[in-house]
Amino acid sequence: MAFDLHVPESRSLKAKRAAIRPIVDGIRARFKLSVAEVEFQDQWQRARIGVAAVASSAGHLEEMLTRVERFVATADDVEVLETGITYLEDE
């Protein structure tokens, strides 16, 4: 899962990271998922966060990703521009 985010009040990389860190740390702590800022590291008002999840069933995975999406959507100081999901299935 990936989130493209806009940080409208950011005037520096430090301010952007201060807005993004609670989201990244919150996903790690609350959902126990791998998460990182994966793109736009050098832009002040733009960020892309990538989240990786593994689940034993599609239903559980969908539920977890829906909860993560709600968490990010309610974050302060950021606007979600786009959300994308890519699935890799065991063959």
Tell me: the pLDDT tens digits for 31-66?
Answer: 999 999 999 999 999 999 999 999 888 899 999 999
Share of the chain above pLDDT 90, in %: 88
**Alpha-carbon span 69 to 44, nearest angstrom:** 23
Note if the pTM is more than 0.85.
yes
**How does residue 88 score in pLDDT terms, banded at 50, 70 and 90?**
confident
Q: CA-based angle 81:77:62, to the nearest 5?
A: 50
How many other β-carbons are positioned within 10 Å of the β-carbon of residue 85?
12
Provide the CATH topology of domain 2-84. Alpha-Beta Plaits (3.30.70)
Residue 22: both structure tokens together: 């609670």
Report the distance separating Cα 8 and Cα 28, nearest Å: 24
Tokens for 77? 């100081």
